[in-house]
Structure 1
Amino acid sequence: MIYDDIEDPDATSPAELREEYVADLAAIVEAYGVESVAEETGVDRETLESLAEEETGVADELTLEDAAAVSALDDDAPPADAIVAEVRDTLLLGMTTAVLDVDTIAAEIDDLDGKQVHQKVEGRSPMTLAEYATLNHFIASRQR
């Protein structure tokens, strides 16, 4: 699930992590059905259909909040707002543990500058599932 820790960052990549997140969400959409998930979460039906097909490109558009809303439908999952809070806490704590600042992260990640990383991690700017997978993997790989 998107809120689980990365056990061994060296054994995976951001792309593989993104695929894993999409597969987990796809299983939930398949179990509950596109219509039901759309009604419960407010996530666009077309996006949910892409998730059900496990199209990894959907991670570039799906926000962390929408992914959390879908994840929260799982019986064992916490509520969506708790998932989002846990994810953000994990990123911030990981940055502290790895002694990383937003500029260091931005220097290693294409397409994001320090200000954007800061805003996304704090929740002041939307973060896609793909961005989350990239940030989560990078931060986890630096925690040793």
Structure 2
Amino acid sequence: MLHTLAEETADLSPNGLHAAYERYLQSVIETVGVDTAVADTDLDGDTIEAVVDGETDDLTLTAAAALAALDDDTPDAEAIVLETRDHLLMGMTTAVLDVDAVAAELDADLTGQEVQQAIEGRIDMTLPELAAIQSVIEQRLEA
């Protein structure tokens, strides 16, 4: 799943995590095929092709989870989204971070309130936002 990719990459920077998410999603699409990805998700062909082409800056966590769920080794999309959010919350707790501390360290232009809304699922974060938030948490846990 998306949040576990941090365990598989040495680069915990926002760009490193985003690239890991992107590579994973591309491998899923490569395995199942573009036609199956379009047929088995609510995503259109242009969105799927954008992922294949490495254009995932606008891809949301929900859309990424729909693609990740095509992998036979993962749970359904809703579980992926919930587990990703839970992982972020647990990481913040373990690293003793609140949303304002996370927001202060982000390169992404998010306020503490927006970080909280993204983690709670009240707004759908993009992959770059997920990568930025996870990067802050993972780097604090590594320290």
TM-score, length-normalised on structure 2? Answer: 0.90
Q: Which amino acid aligns with 2:104?
A: A
Match of 2:136 in 1: 138
Match of 1:33 in 2: 33
- Equivalent residue runs for 1:53-64 within 5 Å: 53=53, 55=54, 57-58=55-56, 60-64=57-61
Offset at residue 131 of structure 1 (A): 0.7
Structure 1 unaligned residues grouped into runs of 5+: none
Q: Secondary structure at the match of 1:143?
A: helix
Q: 1:68 aligns with which of 65, 71, 77?
A: 65
TM-score, length-normalised on structure 1? Answer: 0.90
Match of 1:79 in 2: 76
Match of 2:104 in 1: 107
Q: Which amino acid aligns with 2:98?
A: D
CA distance in 2, matches of 1:36, 1:48: 10
Offset at residue 143 of structure 1 (A): 1.5
Structural RMSD (CA): 1.7
2:50 is the counterpart of 1:18? no
2:97 is the counterpart of 1:88? no
Equivalent pairs counted in the alignment come to 141
CA distance in 2, matches of 1:22, 1:98: 26
Structure 2 unaligned residues grouped into runs of 5+: none
2:121 is the counterpart of 1:123? yes
